[in-house]
Structure 1
Amino acid sequence: MNLKAAVLENKLTSLKTREITEIQNNINIDTKELMALSLFSGGGGLDLGFSAAGFKVGCSTDIDSFSCQTLILNNGRKIYYKNTHSIIADITEISAKYLLKKAELNHDEIDIVLGGPPCQAFSVFGRRKGLDDPRGNLVWEYLKIIQEIRPKAFVFENVPGLKSIHNGKLFEEILTELTIGGTYTISAHSYQMAEYGIPQFRERIFIIGAKNGSIVPKMIPTHGCGAPLTLKKYRTVKEALQYLPEPGKFSSVSNHIGRKHSQRIISRYENLKFGERDTKTRINKLHPERPSFTIIVGSDKGGGKGHIHPFFPREVTPRESARMQTFPDWWEFYGTGRHIIRQVGNAVPPLFAALLAEHLRVHIFGKKKQRSYEDFIEILRLNYLQK
């Protein structure tokens, strides 16, 4: 072999080695299981969505025992959802060290912390007491866990009213505190869920912290009506409710039992137009060709209700509300009545959570290829949204 041929062969070998290494690195990046700790987990919207995107939720915690039982109930139903530690606890009385010990994890194993402290204190639907409400103070309990663990990233979810209460001063204070002395780069975006293929109008703010300095751009809307023409049409109530049998105790679909109404209420509901509000119950009749109104939670004493079904003179069942939140039918909620509707109404839609998780895997954790909306419909088995 002459010198020129030897040099060429060495270059080819070097190139192949780099290509193989790059492929291996991409595989490692794309398949690496990232560990999450979930706070204020509720009925599991964030947990389920992030699990579908390849995160492992090593520990979840909530003060509500019914929510924790829901997470336990669904453990192992899908290969990607294996949440082995669901801890009932008051976050004001525990530390990160306690959670990690219960979950048999070390703090350096946690890649991301997820959580949405109860939002009623900041909601425009509530009395907007902010930090005068004990629930508002749970914001700082979330921050306490972040400070103790120092994960690679965190997700803080809340209502958009958080930005305007106390003339925006509270929001600015929270953003400043979440940087933890410059440790985290903060990205904050408001999202209208319907613009990302969720069959429900629901606006939430997501504050993302990244230790590696990554700025996370806002996800580009994919659904809407009117211009631009590149957007897909909103997903609708009619689509969300399709293929469901009539509710009843003999239904094969879990959590699909509705309220019983008097003839007087039935008559009122029958006479309502699509989108019209009932003056007595103060809930709306859903429009079949539009996304749902925001699912209402109710107060701490209960009272959460679904909206009025577009085609039948009754309120929607918890399962029908869960459909509009993009929970799959295989996901079963523990409890009855108000316990379930609170879990459903407080949740981040799992389909949106999966899209956000995938977005963060790209922009914080270095994943190369991003799965699509249609991919996650398949992964979550949202058969009613398949086309």
Structure 2
Amino acid sequence: MNLTSKETISALLLADIMSVSKRTIESWRKNGKVKSLENGRYLLSGLAKFPQIQAMLETKWELEQKIKPIKTYNSIELFAGAGGLAIGLEKAGFNTIALNEIDKNACATLRKNRPNWNVLEGDIRNIDFTQYKNIDFLSGGFPCQAFSYAGNKLGFEDTRGTLFFEFARAIREIKPKVFLGENVRGLLSHDKGKTLKAIKAVIQELGYTLIEPRVLKAIFYKVPQKRERLFLVCIRNDLVKNANFEWPEPFNKVLTVKDALKKGILYDSDCPESQGQIYPEQKKKVLSMVPPGGCWVNLPDDIQKEYMKKSYFMGGGKTGMARRLSYDSPSLTLTCAPAQKQTERCHPKETRPLNIREYARIQTFPDEWEFVGSISSQYKQIGNAVPVNLAHAMAIKLIALLNNIETSKK
């Protein structure tokens, strides 16, 4: 969907952009907050009062794509997974010195696709990072566990025993100019905000200034998926006065499942065939009744009760159950398993789970990026990844930040 002022978008796509339900858009239409055309669609020029739409109409995305490193910036990535963040950093111009990951299949995936990368396989607790002192940049999607708050000082020692402690230890040993922490949106409210408070205290103790954390929605960064990720950008205190970080501009289009699976703006061919899970016959029979974009609520009542069992009486949305994606909307956030009852991601037309390559495309992995391991391991690697295009958008602005620091130093 090309966001120019003369274009129109559907109510469903408007709901995705505004992070509200389609029902909310309908209530806005009824009370005059938004005006639809006779065909039920919305003219973008009439929606420019919304900051999200205005940002897309006035975006400097194309200018940002031209940002290149003015020198070689060496980087290290922790908790690297199957390489979503790493590919984005590489595309922006970072020179990867080392990547740490404990999952053997994810490590095999990294080595298969980038034999020249230095993959440090194993537990982060066993790695001495002092050999990488003064590297330009460090990144990692550290797992978010609760801290003990043993001393209630919310400092470095209070995080001991968690993987964030190891992330912080690597920062202390390397002292990079800039580091990036990446996590789920839930970190903002985890343990009633105590976890983030502890993380902020440790960042300060390490001698870094934290840019106010921000949740980025992948649909704004050339990703056909409603995934959200929290990013923490931190600059070493002695360099802050020379730094000027800006968050990435949005892409000027909202991409859909069709953009992922068919030839077009993201890929120059339709999605190639690949392995994937299959539904048992009974489940296939039920899901064959669900329309594109629909879920269990679209089933006949007697089948709803049979399929949902106790969940039928519990209320709430549960719209991930018996969910079929639509070509005309971004995908729901991909999980580690597309065929589980709570997190189903059925193909828009065929009655089957998304296969491996379809999963990878919705995460914007290149078609040539191969995954190693069992089918369930490959789904897990893809489902846990940072979408490549979101990572690339962030990486470009991190290159701009390092360029700014470098220029100011001179």
Normalising by structure 2, what TM-score?
0.67
Could you say which residue in structure 2 is the equivalent of 1:240? 260
Alignment of 1:1-387 (within 5 A): 30-75=69-114, 82-83=116-117, 85-97=118-130, 100=131, 106-108=132-134, 110-119=135-144, 121=145, 130-131=146-147, 137-211=162-236, 212-213=239-240, 214-222=243-251, 232-243=252-263, 253=272, 256-278=274-296, 279=307, 282-297=321-336, 307-366=345-404
How many Å apart are 1:348 and its aligned residue? 0.7
Query: For residue 332 of structure 2, what is the amino acid of its counterpart?
Result: F
> Is there any run of 5+ residues in structure 2 with no aligned partner, and where?
1-66, 149-158, 265-269, 297-306, 309-319
Pick closer, same or farther for the CA change 1:72–1:181 going to 2, 3 Å. closer
What SS does structure 2 have at the residue aligned with 1:61? strand
What is the CA deviation profile of residues 284-324 of structure 1, one whole-angstrom value per residue up to 9, with x for unaligned ones?
Answer: 2101111100011259xx99976100010000012111100
Displacement of 1:135 after TM fit? 12
Distance 1:334 1:342 in 2: 11
List per-residue Cα deviations over 1:236-280 (Å, max 9, x = no partner).
001101159xxxxxx9958x2122333322221111122333556
Q: Distance in 2 between matches of 1:198 and 1:68?
A: 25
For residues 126-161 of structure 1, what are the alpha-carbon distances to aligned partners after superposition, in whole Å with 9 as ceiling and x for unaligned? xxxx347x9992112111111111001111000111
Shift of 1:233: 3.4
Separation of aligned partners in 2, 1:72 and 1:52 = 17
Q: In structure 1, what is the Cα distance between the partners aligned to 2:272 and 2:188?
A: 39
Matched residue SS, 1:46: helix
Q: Tell me how far apart the structure 2 counterparts of residues 306 and 63 of structure 1 sit (CA, whole Å).
A: 27
What is the CA-CA distance between 1:184 and the residue it aligns to?
3.5
Partner SS, residue 43 of structure 1: coil
Structure 1 residue 209: Cα displacement? 0.8
Structure 1: 4+ residue segments shifted above 4 A: 251-254, 278-281, 302-306
Residue of structure 2 in register with 1:127 after alignment: none
CA–CA distance in 1 between the matches of 2:111 and 2:171? 24
Q: Cα gap change, 1:269/1:114 in structure 2, threshold over 3 Å: closer, same or farther?
A: same
| Cα pair 1:30 1:367 within 8 Å, conserved | no
The letter for the 1-side match of 2:372 is: Y
Q: Compared with structure 1, are the counterparts of its residues 189 and 75 closer, same or farther at alpha carbon in structure 2 (3 Å cutoff)?
A: same
CA distance in 2, matches of 1:304, 1:297: 12
SS in 1 for 2:403: coil
Question: In structure 2, the residue corresponding to 1:199 is in which secondary structure?
Answer: coil
What are the Cα deviations for residues 323-353 of structure 1, in whole angstroms up to 9, with x where unaligned? 0000010000111211111111111111111
SS in structure 1 at match of 2:179: strand
Aligned mates of 1:168, 1:287 — CA distance in 2: 36
Give ranges in structure 1 of 5+ residues lacking alignment: 1-27, 77-81, 101-105, 122-129, 223-231, 245-250, 369-387
The answer on whether the counterparts of 1:216 and 1:364 sit within 8 Å (CA) in structure 2 is no
Alpha-carbon shift at residue 170 of structure 1 (Å): 1.5
How many residue pairs align between the two structures? 299
SS of 2:216's partner is: strand
Aligned to 2:41: none
Instruction: Give the whole-Å Cα distance in 2 for the aligned partners of 1:135 and 1:332.
Output: 36
The separation in 2 between residues aligned to 1:318 and 1:297, in whole angstroms, is: 11
Could you say if the C-alpha distance between residues 181 and 259 of structure 1 is closer, same or farther in structure 2, counting changes exceeding 3 Å? Answer: closer
CA distance in 2, matches of 1:304, 1:117: 25
* Identity, % of aligned positions: 31
Q: 1:233 to 1:206 in 2, by over 3 A?
A: same
Instruction: Judge which range, 315-324 or 207-216, deviates more.
Output: 207-216
Question: For 1:241 and 1:165, how far apart are their aligned partners in 2?
Answer: 35
- Shift in Å, 1:112: 0.5
- Is contact 2:324-2:344 (8 Å) kept? no
Q: 1:96 is matched by which residue type in structure 2?
A: F
CA drift at 1:220 = 3.0
Where does residue 21 of structure 1 map in the other structure?
Answer: none
Rounded Cα–Cα distance in structure 1 between residues aligned with 2:259 and 2:233 = 32
Assess if the C-alpha contact under 8 Å between 1:179 and 1:186 holds in 2.
no
SS of the residue corresponding to residue 210 of structure 1 reads strand
What CA distance in whole angstroms lies between the structure 2 residues aligned with 1:48 and 1:333? 14
* SS of residue paired to 2:213: strand
- Secondary structure of residue in 2 paired with 1:364: helix
CA distance in 1, matches of 2:143, 2:337: 13
Offset, 1:357: 0.7
